[in-house]
Structure 1
């Protein structure tokens, strides 16, 4: 796999003719820092972590002008663990983050096919979470965005053009189960409106949990509303999610972080977030948020998180960051403080690191 990735990079870097014809861009993020986890049953953990603020990655994207305002587009993106120099992948995927091809038009919208983000995840990341899913304060710690809630395989996604501030997206992920078109399929959508300092969006996700052998697993539903408003001196964020059904709130953490008895994800819960970000000087930004997880099942395993962070831009491409977050688990809940890439091992975590984009 490593040899294949190196070969792709060398080919892309040396083929200037292909670049000229297809307008291909090589890009990436290198993010590394110290992460200190506290409060887990196995003790304190301090490690050099890759991707605390933004997952480290390398990607290839490109467009080809087809005429008449229509373009062919593609994207191939793989995660990297720069603390160890390895690929960050699951199930031996080469491009585990995104891999798609499609067509795009300024007037008709964009249609893409492949492995892609869900509208639910993009809405929370881009509109509702002041930490943008990064550092210890990430909304990933309590909101249901783990596993298939982040990206879908076999996804067909359509995104509208901007229509007087309104944009929309629809995603359909084929289950590909022989003889049963509905099993394991996933459907999502989002509608957003942006006008000056106001940005508001709603998103929905539906996951059919049936498999080729189990036909009564049921469906998980998630509905999200998120908004932010920029007052210039401070930007205010808010998000609220309703989660119901099996796998409506997949855990972002290990099920036994605090006890030998596995912590089971809720099938009936709500998530609420309020947050702020504010510029400090010419290059700094302070970010803070509070998240409440309301479990409505019989054991009432609620949790809450507060977090604060600071980012300083050394240049347009390089920044440093520091963040701290703490989760209060109730009645045997087992949520952990993670970051953009790692799920964490305890109920408290501290991050300090540096990020470079190219």
Structure 2
């Protein structure tokens, strides 16, 4: 059984195009790269009910690697979200900031704000540019369902044979108190992820647990995927079962499905579905929190320039006070 070298960085984009980074320095085992992208769209998007110019998730990052010998490579990355439409004090906000160490046999250890092992499993449907996964980003910094704040991770992969691999991931966050949005006392949290890949397909499971305000808040998620997004057929399914995990919900379940087909001419078509069901107390009835589906198209004009269009249908919920609110957008993304 042969150890598989893990990738030095976890994918930071939620789209089918490659995450470009320009290497601006390479000497004596050290590299420095600059990357990210800017995007802009027109439509009814996000919380707006009016047609307006908007951004999706622009960012800029700088990363570096250093070969320190004995098969060990140290890497570091800083990444910031860019708000170039509204600006002000939040023009730049932190997305990532970590230092990692990778060894071909021992695996990879990283410390800082980074993509969590939970996302390795549950993020397989979070691919289209315009409309993708919503539930992963609800308080994800504290719960480490997407990016995890102040987190320690360890990952290791094993190659079992031709076309087969087994990957493990561990994550830990320390106890802290949050004020403002998502206020609460977050005890130490831990997560463990495992996935098995064979012949282009993969199945994964992840557990995420720890107390919030002295109540056990945990999530179990499983996923299936096939193919590579942006290269022919890609399909993914995600299911998550949660206890006291999301604010106001005693129990909840999340469902996500994505099917995409990339033509050889640079056009990638997709349809996705996402829904959440939950109940406020142990004795209350389960209600649909939201359900939505989107049809989308992405076209690579050049490898660094991608246009996109999407329409998201609001399929309704069980709250009579809310109304259906479809969304749509057309836009362009340019990779630095």
Query: Which bin holds the TM-score, normalised by the shorter protein?
Result: 0.7 to 0.9
- Match of 2:51, SS state, is strand
- Residue 325 of structure 2 corresponds to 347
- Residue 47 of structure 1 corresponds to 52
Determine if the alignment matches structure 1 residue 222 to structure 2 residue 216: no
Q: Deviations over 1:249-298 (max 9, x none)?
A: 25xxxxxxxxxxxxxx4221111222210123421011101223222442
- Residue 287 of structure 2 corresponds to 301
Are 2:117 and 2:153, in contact at CA under 8 Å, matched by a contact in 1? Answer: no
Are 2:129 and 2:308, in contact at CA under 8 Å, matched by a contact in 1? Answer: no
- Partners of 1:198 and 1:104 lie apart in 2 by 25
- Residue 67 of structure 1 corresponds to 69
Are 1:143 and 1:271, in contact at CA under 8 Å, matched by a contact in 2? Answer: no
State the Cα distance separating 1:37 from its structure 2 match: 4.4
Q: What RMSD over aligned residues (CA atoms) do the two structures have, in Å?
A: 3.0
Are 1:268 and 1:295, in contact at CA under 8 Å, matched by a contact in 2? Answer: yes
- Partners of 2:55 and 2:45 lie apart in 1 by 14
- Residue 34 of structure 1 corresponds to 42
In structure 2, stretches of 5+ residues that fail to align are 1-21, 178-184
Are 2:82 and 2:93, in contact at CA under 8 Å, matched by a contact in 1? Answer: no
Are 2:232 and 2:263, in contact at CA under 8 Å, matched by a contact in 1? Answer: no
- Residue 196 of structure 1 corresponds to 199
State the Cα distance separating 1:207 from its structure 2 match: 3.6
Are 1:76 and 1:95, in contact at CA under 8 Å, matched by a contact in 2? Answer: no
- Partners of 1:21 and 1:121 lie apart in 2 by 30
- Partners of 2:333 and 2:89 lie apart in 1 by 18
TM-score of the superposition, structure 1-length normalised?
Answer: 0.73
Are 2:240 and 2:253, in contact at CA under 8 Å, matched by a contact in 1? Answer: yes
- Partners of 1:143 and 1:158 lie apart in 2 by 20
Q: Deviations over 1:194-252 (max 9, x none)?
A: 22320221112124213xxxxxx30211111111123985322211110111xx125xx
- Partners of 1:139 and 1:312 lie apart in 2 by 20
- Partners of 1:203 and 1:335 lie apart in 2 by 33
Determine if the alignment matches structure 1 residue 282 to structure 2 residue 265: yes
- Residue 117 of structure 2 corresponds to 119
TM-score of the superposition, structure 2-length normalised?
Answer: 0.77
Give the structure, 1 or 2, with the largest relative contact order (CA under 8 Å, sep 6 or more).
Answer: 1
Equivalent positions of 1:254-293 (< 5 A) are 265-293=248-276
- How many residue pairs are counted as aligned between the two chains? 294
Higher helix share: 1
